[in-house]
Amino acid sequence: MIEVSTCVICDSPIRRLKRALVAPFVAERTWKRKPFCVDLVGCDTCGFKFYNPRLDDKDLSNLYRGYRSPEYQRMRFATEPWYTPSFNADLASPNSYEIRRAKLAPILRQHLGEQKIGRILDYGGDRGDLVVGLVDGAEPFSYDISGIDVAPGVTPTKDPTACKPDLIVNSNVLEHVGFPRVLVNEILNAAPKGGLVFLDVPCEFPFGFARLARRIAQIAVMTLMRPATSRYILRPATLYMMHQHINYFTEHSLRVLMESCNGEVIATGTYPYGSRAGRADMAWCLARKN
């Protein structure tokens, strides 16, 4: 873990907002230890909120080894009774990718304009399912360090620079990483000059009613069905529990992140996930590498 003293997006001062418990599953899988507390901090300049200390590369590799494999599911189920095999499978089901593509395709169509996309690269997107058919006529590639098998029709690449992608898509990844600027710089480095980068992240608010209600429900279920965890989780810090999303982005902080890596922002926006019209569940940013 790496303790930081300034914002990991814009380098401005940060302040502590809350103490937050590390989820039992995350503590066990990443550090082989019992749940403990970290700080939830915020940057008043760019609005980014995150847990501190940060997860380093080794922590992330421990946490995500065998991501969503049967062994991962069983370990998570041991403290999270709702994380059943079918729940785990649904997260990466064909239907879930179809929903995500249906959200992103119109946004890309609107903002790509006349730009021709010959090659599209899913950067860190598992099997590359998301980019298959996402942009008309674009050949799909996938770069994922896990070395997982790719989806039908997708070409895997070990060197994202070599495939010279016209558009790189990084979706639902940045909320998991300790140092988002490092990853966005890597993505921009993989793009050819004039290439496009599309970032897509959940737009979550740690103190929102829906989030707190969900945490309370989870605490109740864990206490009832996994009583051994109750001695760790029955405390206020569990309301702001750190799970695998260790970053809270807004549309603005995502733009600041892209600009801080010298990406030329073309457009940003938000969209609702699922059918809840009018909600800003996800934030996106489209930029060009100059």
The least distance separating Zn ion from the CB of residue 252, rounded to whole angstroms, comes to 10
Output the smallest distance, CB 42 to Zn ion, in A.
9
> In the complex with Zn ion, which residue's Cβ is closer, 41 or 134?
41
Q: How far apart are CA 195 and CA 113, in angstroms?
A: 14
- CB nearer Zn ion, residue 12 or residue 115: 12
By CB atoms closer than 10 A (0-12, 13-18, 19+), residue 210 is exposed
CA 159/CA 113 separation, integer angstroms: 28
- CB-wise, 141 or 249, nearer to Zn ion? 249
Pairing of strands 37-43, 247-248: unpaired
Which letter does DSSP use for residue 151 in this model? P
Sites of contact with Zn ion (CB under 5 A): 7, 9-10, 12, 43, 45-46, 48
Least Å from the CB of residue 249 to Zn ion: 11
Q: Which two tokens stand for residue 195?
A: 């290439």
227: helix, strand or coil: helix
Q: Which two tokens stand for residue 25?
A: 């599953």
Q: State in angstroms the smallest separation of the CB of 43 from Zn ion.
A: 3
Nearer to Zn ion, 43 or 196 (CB): 43
Per DSSP bridges, beta strands 139-143 and 167-171 are unpaired
Q: How are beta strands 155-156 and 247-248 bridged, if at all?
A: unpaired
Cβ-based nearer residue to Zn ion, 130 or 256: 256
Give DSSP secondary structure letters for 252-279. Answer: HHHHHHHHHTTEEEEEEEEE-STT-TT-
**Cβ distance to Zn ion smaller for residue 167 or 261:** 261
Minimum distance from residue 4 beta carbon to Zn ion (Å) = 11
Kindly state the smallest distance separating residue 181's Cβ from Zn ion, in Å: 11
